[in-house]
Amino acid sequence: MIQIKEISAKETFPIRLEVLRKNIPLPYEFNGDFDKETFHLGAFKNEELIAVSSYMKASNKNFEGNQYQLRGMATLTEYQGFGAGKLMLQKAVQILKEKNTTILWCNARIAAVEFYKKQGFQTFSEKFEISPVGEHYVMFKELK
């Protein structure tokens, strides 16, 4: 069984480095990681941290209302497809609703677009490049 818990920013770093920044010369510590409004979630299987995600109060000019940005969603390769990402998003939505958040948005890598669509996100932007990571879309989910 997978359990979702709040974790510290530093606990996200090893998985971000392994999954999102492997051989990519970009920082795995994000601007905003330690802000008061930021929170981080971890998915645990048998007490082992297998997936992470971070939620930062950040506005995108294309959306109205109280907004948070999802950043650094990452699951260790051997645990992908077991629902950890979905469970983290469900927990995040609960927390964000308590914070009166109306929009959760992210810059989704092409490989993750279908996952986000299954979680109720919609594509907003045209495809754009984040060098050297690759192509992305802005995606969002209205929280009601």
Specify the pLDDT at position 125. 79
Specify the pLDDT at position 24. 66
Tokens 């981080």, residue located = 40
pLDDT digits 0-9 by tens, 15-53: 998 888 776 666 678 889 999 999 999 999 999 999 999
Instruction: Please return the burial class of 46, using the count of CB atoms within 10 Å of its CB with bins 0-12, 13-18 and 19+.
Output: exposed
Specify the number of domains making up the chain: 1
Integer Cα distance of 66 and 121 in angstroms: 17
pLDDT digits 0-9 by tens, 62-99: 999 999 999 999 999 999 999 999 999 999 999 999 99
Q: What CATH number does the domain containing 19 carry?
A: 3.40.630.30
Model pTM? 0.92
Cα torsion for 106, 64, 95, 108, to the nearest 10°? -10
